[in-house]
Structure 1
Amino acid sequence: MSQIQIRQIQQSMIYAKSTQQLRQVSCLQPTLMRIRHGEKHIWLNEQTYIARAGDILIAPAGLQLTLTNQPDVHGYACEVLTIAPGLIEQFRQNHPAAVQTALQQAPRLCEKLSATMALLWDELFNAIANNEPVELIEHRAAGLLLALTLSGFATALLSHRDDTVAQRVQMLIMLEPAREWTVELMAKQLNLGASTLRRQLQQEGQSFREILERIRLNIGLGLIQTSKHAIGQIAQQCGYQSASRFSARFQLQFGIKPLQLRATIN
């Protein structure tokens, strides 16, 4: 059984040597993306956003994007930070006045990083890469969040979201995507009856099967983009016994086959 450790804050790099076009990409956790080379084009709510080198993208958990990663002469490179909701909630409690002011502003998806925010970003990114103590990493993360909040950039991350049953289901699947999940097993984990779980998810406009596949495929997407693991190995890590089944579902979700996406990176 494959279990993935979810830290309070994680980093990764996404590269591309040729254009990547992806649809229905879900942000499983609050996510910050900093473009280093190339451009990221995003289509959301009938609007187009373009993030260029030096820009930051701020995406709350649950946001679903259609996007293109477009290389420049140096290729495409994007630094990614994912922040656990618990860490953001802790930040809300520690800085209520700044958060309240920020929430009065309209959410913004894409912004230019100031010199100060770029420095804070680099310090946090390097701290994670160097395996510095967790307390220091979280301190640096709070500093970056505070700078984004005071600049009016963090509204989308700070908007309070109730703890739904679907979110609890999602977190358990993220911890063990390869587990042979069933409604009955998940209900037991949540101390609910299976019929109660189905009903509560339906009331939230969700289904267990849709959540399970969305989480597995988006974890697979991240592994293809950030690791050198074989596609068959990634399929197993995400709970698919067949690489061909994983490939078919991946293409249906994102509009590209896993091997085609891998070819844009290598």
Structure 2
Amino acid sequence: MKDLIAHARQAIASEKGAPFSVYHAIKEQTIINVPITKPLLICVLDGTKRLGVNSEVICDSGEFVFLSNNPQVHLRNIPRGAEYFALLIEFELSDFECLPSDSNPKEPMIKGKVNDALYQSLLQFVDCASYLPDSLWASRRQELLQIFQHEGFPNPRCITTTPDLSHQVYRLVSTDLSADMSSQWLAAELALSESTLRRKLRVEGTSVQEIKDRVKLGTALHLIQTTFESIGIIAERCGYQSQSRFTGKFKQRFGITPTALRKTRMPD
């Protein structure tokens, strides 16, 4: 896994940016209620990840877990030796159209070992970050999905679920985290009455405010895990005018403060 770790570090450090993320920690991280809104491939390259969905799943170095686009999971990222290191690739639902239809029951995740074919494909995917235009990334994600199919893993379509109304609201809120989008405005954008929007979201077990919090705090969690921007700037970028209010909401949701989580990535 050392080559993939080195290549991923190099791609992330470049100014061009990368169509994937790297999460690393030198101390154990425990984070609860992490929202997953798009199919997410997590390849653990060093250390161990423990996930709680319906039951605990252990993903060691050299293994992957492919998460559905709708669970909320509890995570423990555990360094082994020097650090915990994982490569994350987020997929669009449209990416899966390259695969045959799947009539099997939907699953919250697929777990497996990163075999040689998948490893080489991931290495190529990471290396493309230095030169591939954004318009071609969908085809590279589809190539990864086809490798899964070719190598005999379960059809990745088994983890995809049809976007519901909450996903549509999530996408709208994501377009501008600094805006305080009202229920009335969101309903108009979705061609619904405000009361219908609230009722349908209630049936899905959520609300406009819950979705706003999930979007903003989920983005903040990602920024804390992938950047060293100040907590105050991250709070502002995610629509919080008060850093103390942001810290309180973050801890309430994830069970850890932004500062404490940041410290797991930094030496004493």
TM bucket normalised to smaller: 0.7 to 0.9
Q: In structure 2, what is the Cα distance between the partners aligned to 1:72 and 1:232? A: 31
Does the CA contact (< 8 Å) of 1:25 and 1:254 recur in 2?
A: yes
Q: Give the superposition deviation at 1:159.
A: 4.5
The letter of the residue matching 1:141 is: R
Which stretches in structure 2 are left out of the alignment for 5+ residues? 1-17
More displaced, 32-41 or 185-194?
185-194
2:93 corresponds to which letter in structure 1? P
1:27 aligns with 2:29: no
1:122-149, Cα deviation, whole Å (9 max, x unpaired)? 211222x214024543222111101213
Letter in 1 for 2:39: P
Q: Distance in 2 between matches of 1:105 and 1:73?
A: 36
Q: Distance in 2 between matches of 1:179 and 1:157?
A: 34
User: Equivalent residue for 2:123?
Assistant: 122
Contact 2:110 2:159 in 1 (8 A): no
Could you tell me whether the CA contact under 8 Å between 2:68 and 2:107 is conserved in 1?
no
Mapped contact 1:108–1:155 kept (Cα < 8 A): no
Shift of 1:35: 0.9
Report if the CA contact (8 A) 1:28-1:215 is conserved.
Answer: no
Partner of 2:86: 78
Residue in 1 that maps onto 2:254: 254
Aligned to 1:52: 60
- Which residue number in structure 2 is paired with residue 189 of structure 1? 189
Aligned to 2:170: 170
Q: Distance in 1 between matches of 2:125 and 2:157?
A: 18
Identify if the C-alpha distance between structure 1 residues 52 and 85 changes in structure 2 by more than 3 Å, giving closer, same or farther: same
Distance in 2 separating the partners of 1:179 and 1:261: 26
Specify every segment of 5 or more residues in structure 1 that has no aligned partner in the other structure, as ranges: 1-8
Moved more, 149-158 or 193-202: 149-158
Give the C-alpha shift of residue 219 in structure 1: 0.9
- Structure 1 vs Structure 2 CA RMSD: 2.1
> Following TM superposition, by how much is the alpha carbon of 1:150 offset from its aligned partner in structure 2, in angstroms?
3.6
Quick check: 30-39 or 162-171, which moved more? 162-171
User: Which of 40, 48, 70 is residue 62 of structure 1 equivalent to?
Assistant: 70
Q: 1:51 Cα shift?
A: 1.1
Kept after mapping to 2: 8 A contact 1:56/1:111: yes
For 1:167 and 1:107, the matched residues in 2 are separated by 17
Match for residue 13 of structure 1? 22
CA shift digits 1:19-54 (9 cap, x unpaired): 100111111211001111111111221x22111111
